[in-house]
Homo-oligomer: A and B are copies of this chain.
Amino acid sequence: MKQAILLFQAPDQQGIVHKITKFVLERKGNITELEQFVDNTNKKFFMRIVWQVENQNACATNIDTDFKPIASELSATFNTYCSDQIDRMALFCSATQHCMAEVLLEHAQGDLQLEIPLIISNSKKCEPLAKKFEIPFYFISTKTPQKEFEQQQLNLCKQNKIDFIALARYMKILSPEFVQQYPNKIINIHHSFLPSFIGNTPYQDAYNRGVKLIGATSHFVIPQLDEGPIIEQDVKRISHAFDTEELIAAGKEVEKRVFLYALKKYTQRKLMIDEGKVVVFE
């Protein structure tokens, strides 16, 4: 049965929940999920609410239009979705393929509700894996000048009507110009527990510092490297006996898990951004 999803944020004030539930009730919606969060520090109210829509044609577009006056009254910003909208995701990859592979496998098994119209890579090594899962693959040589490189990427994304981009251990920094084309719509997996070990040799750095846990962080990409809003993090216990190679091997599992978690939450419309931080609904 089709469901409508509303993500909502506004200055905190009395009566918000009441107004929104009235809106749902007037449409004979049955609320199946409702989660709210009040950011007391910044006096902001966040809500995710899901309801079964009676009129199957009325999902999302109509709701969006109808809700505008209420949002305006509450000085709110919001987004509406219908549970049958499926996002189109571009996968950007480099030579290290475990995150890419995990996404393709989960997708093939029906555990990721999205379409993957294309894979773009700066490494030809990814091609066999893309073929195995029958996803169109585009190689762009790292020798291509940066501007042209990104223009090609952008064209491919536009042509394929990409909704958001997943960087599966993509080891090429995106320019601020590119990032601005997909604001809060690019998700990266970084192979450390941020803000520890920013940069491109986190396992080497972790080895040098002698940490007892290694981690991974999935975050939205902003122009500042590795500083975007964090969606999910996790860690894994290691010991003094791990050299850098072993840290890299041990970290794969955490990276895959954290990355997938972030992509799932994103496709489930469970992420909102608040002051450079991510509200993650259950």
* Chain A interface residues toward B at CB < 8 A: 12, 14-18, 21-22, 24-25, 28-41, 97-98, 101-102, 105, 109, 111, 132-133, 193-197, 209-213, 215, 229-235, 239-241, 243, 249, 252-253, 257, 274, 276-280, 282
23 residue pairs from A and B, CB less than 8 Å apart: A17-B34, A21-B21, A31-B38, A32-B38, A32-B40, A37-B240, A37-B241, A41-B243, A102-B105, A111-B249, A193-B196, A193-B235, A194-B209, A194-B211, A195-B211, A210-B278, A212-B280, A213-B233, A213-B235, A239-B280, A240-B277, A240-B279, A240-B280
Chain B residue, CB-CB nearest to A38: B32
A40 to B215, CA, bound (A): 23
For A97, the chain B residues whose CB sits under 8 A away are 109
Count this chain's copies in the assembly: 4
Q: How far is the CB of A188 from chain B (nearest CB, A)?
A: 15
B18 touches A25 (CB 8 A): yes
Given A105-B105, A132-B132, A282-B282, 14 additional A-B pairs, CB 8 A = A14-B29, A16-B31, A17-B17, A17-B21, A34-B36, A40-B243, A98-B111, A193-B213, A193-B235, A194-B196, A210-B230, A212-B233, A240-B279, A241-B282
For A32, the chain B residues whose CB sits under 8 A away are 38, 40
B35 touches A35 (CB 8 A): yes
A102 to B194, CA, bound (A): 27
Chain B residue, CB-CB nearest to A213: B233
For A235, the chain B residues whose CB sits under 8 A away are 193, 213, 235
A29 to B29, CA, bound (A): 25
For A239, the chain B residues whose CB sits under 8 A away are 280, 282
B33 touches A277 (CB 8 A): no
For A35, the chain B residues whose CB sits under 8 A away are 35-36
